[in-house]
Amino acid sequence: MISSPDSSELAPQTSQPEIREAREESPLFKEFSEKLALFPTPEEKVAHGLQFMRASISQEGSPRFREFWEARRLILPFFKENLGSAIRSKLWAEYVELTVEARRLKEILEEQSAFAMEQIDLAIKALEGDVENFPALLATTGELSFNQGSEIVRHKAAVYNGIQRELNLLNTLASRLNGLRKEIIKTDMRIRFKTKLFKRLSDLGDKIFPKRKELIEAVSTEFEKDIDHFIASHFQGEEIVGAPYYALREEIKGLQCMAKLFTLNSGVFTRTRLKLSECWDKVKVLEKERKKEVLEKKQASSEQRQGIQVQIDALKETCAEMPLADLNVKIEEISNEMRSVQLHRDDVRSLRDDLNQLRAPHLAAQEQKAKELEEAEKEKLRIKREMIVALKEKIADLSKTGDAMELEALVAAFDEVQAQITALEISKMEKQQIERLLRPLKDLVADKKEQSLVNLSEDDKKTLENLRVVLKQRKERRQEVKAQVEIYRKSLGGSNLDFEKAMQFQELLEQEKERLEKANAGIEEIEQKISDLES
């Protein structure tokens, strides 16, 4: 329940100075003040004031706290006038609610501003640390690669590397500084805080920008000097000297790429681009002349080609009946004649394609034979895989149905499986997989044999003797399993296994452990029967 305003709230604010500093009012607040004076009753004035207060802190963007508190101050005296108790209580509750909301909102904004200031401060400290440790930071940057650039730049890679590496780091620091400056401008905080942060950034700028400007001038001067030397060495008037036109064309492209990579001042960048463009135009003129010469040579080559083409056409009519060795001799003779005349590379390529077509039927026959051998090998492999699959299925079926079979039939089936395994030519891994599947069947056969001894219908003495024989057999089998477990453990302990082999050995080890547990259980069972008989 919200209480009604008491006398302390409605009393004049004697603790504040009666004379306030003159402040320029916003157009919205002037409009509010004018409308407030037009309302005839205190209820309407208070309601209008509360509406304005709510709009001041509910708008998009930053709340208008100054107008909120001014409006709050103006409508507070109206609560002292003649108002109904119910209306006064309702309006006062809304008045208090808006005041609490404004204070809470102001605290939130102040916390956000403080957090933003804290983050900006941390970023400035990090930037200050990088500027202080500039030499160490520069030492950690990698060397620049000029492999795809200009030959001139590659010869002076050490000079350009030293300057541009430092410039790249300074450019990064300058970019971070400008970003922080923009962040401070758009962050809502007190002017004195902004002034302090701008002062810190200004001090950092004094350490970054003069040095950056100096290095830009250095790399610009060095690059322009190299461009002038390149032009003086290879472009004398309208003539191009010192290198083939296609090499100079690639060098110009490389220098244009380097102009974009280096941090040049605008004047040098513009001048070097214009100079290189002029050189490019001269190279294009020379390239056009060379293309004309090539066209003339190509026409002469076409005449030489016709004579060789006649020989190839004649050989084409008889090549199908010739052995491949004789055909190769004829083709080599034609190839030697091709080398003795001047032919364009396109004509050479076309003639060689025609000569290769002469060999095509013979090569196709050889390829077909090889393909047939490959298909036969694949078929042999397919049959072998089917036999392996059938053998695995047979082992699985025997493992499932072996309990219901007679011992003699089971032993005969087991021997047949072993004979099939011996007859198959399989890899070591496949053999291990089959042996892994065969182990349960081996155990089943052994159990059948042992069970036949245990169930003999003789007196207790004979039964005891049989049990001891079975116990000895099981202990021997347990020793074999233990030895196999130890072998797999040593294999897993080695460091030369890949992931797949390690997983296979781990699976084999787990299976042997299960067999060992089963053998131990069987031994305990036999020992218990022996103990019962002896007692």
pLDDT digits (tens, 9 = 90+) for 417-450: 778 777 777 777 877 777 787 788 778 777 776 6
| CA separation, residue 459 to residues 454, 463, 465, 523 (Å) | 12, 6, 10, 22
Confidence class for position 80, pLDDT limits 50, 70, 90: confident
pLDDT above 70 as % of the chain? 88
pLDDT at 461: 61
* Residue 485 CA: distances (Å) to CA of 45, 245, 410, 481: 96, 75, 27, 6
Q: Residue 24 has what pLDDT?
A: 62
Looking at the predicted structure, is the pLDDT value of residue 217 above 90?
yes
Q: In angstroms, rounded to a whole number, what is the distance separating the alpha carbons of residues 232 and 226?
A: 10
Q: Which position has the higher pLDDT, 276 or 319?
A: 276
| Cα 201 from Cα 188, distance rounded (Å) | 18
Q: Check residue 534 and give its pLDDT.
A: 46
Per-residue pLDDT band for 9 (boundaries 50, 70, 90) equals: very low
Residue 135 CA to residue 247 CA, distance in Å, equals: 39
Exposed e or buried b for every residue in 220-251, given b needs 16+ CB within 10 A? Answer: bebbbebbeebbeebbeeeebeeeebeebbeb
Kindly indicate the confidence band of residue 458, based on its pLDDT and cuts at 50, 70 and 90.
Answer: low
Q: What is the mean pLDDT of residues 262-280?
A: 90
Looking at residue 175, what is its pLDDT?
92
Virtual torsion, Cα 464, 466, 467, 471, nearest 10 deg: 140
Start-to-end Cα distance in the chain:
92
Predicted confidence at residue 20, as pLDDT, reads 38
What is the average per-residue pLDDT within 72-83?
A: 82
What pLDDT digit, counting tens, does each position of 24-55 carry? 667 878 888 778 888 888 888 888 888 888 88
- What's the average model confidence in pLDDT over 285-311? 73
What torsion do the CA atoms of 37, 39, 43, 49 make, to the nearest 10 degrees? -50
> For tokens 């922080």, what's the residue?
180
**23-45 as b/e, with b when 16 or more CB fall inside 10 Å?**
eeeeeebeebeeebeeeeebbeb
The pLDDT tens digits for 228-237 are: 998 888 888 7
Q: Residues of the chain with pLDDT > 90: what percent? A: 6
| 8 Å CB contact between 70 and 32 | no
The pLDDT of 219-223, averaged and rounded, is 90
Spatial contact of 205 and 127, defined as CB atoms under 8 Å apart: no
Judge whether residue 454 has pLDDT over 60: no
**Which pLDDT value is given to residue 214?**
92
Q: With 60 as the cut, is the pLDDT of residue 404 above it?
A: yes
Does residue 116 or residue 139 have the better pLDDT?
Answer: 139
Reported confidence tier of residue 270, pLDDT bands at 50, 70, 90: very high
**What rounded mean pLDDT belongs to the chain?**
79
Which one has a higher pLDDT value, 226 or 340?
226
Mean pLDDT (whole number) for 334-342: 76
Work out the pLDDT band at 2, boundaries 50, 70, 90: very low
Q: Which of 175, 206, 196 is nearest to 121 (CA)?
A: 196
Write down all domains in the chain, each with its CATH number in brackets.
7-110 (no CATH), 133-291 (no CATH), 456-535 (1.10.287)
Contacts for 137 with CB less than 8 Å, ≥ 6 apart: 130, 169
Residue 32 vs residues 25, 69, 163, 212, 382: alpha-carbon distances, Å:
11, 13, 63, 55, 95
| pTM, rounded to two decimals | 0.45
CA–centroid distance for 478 within its chain: 52
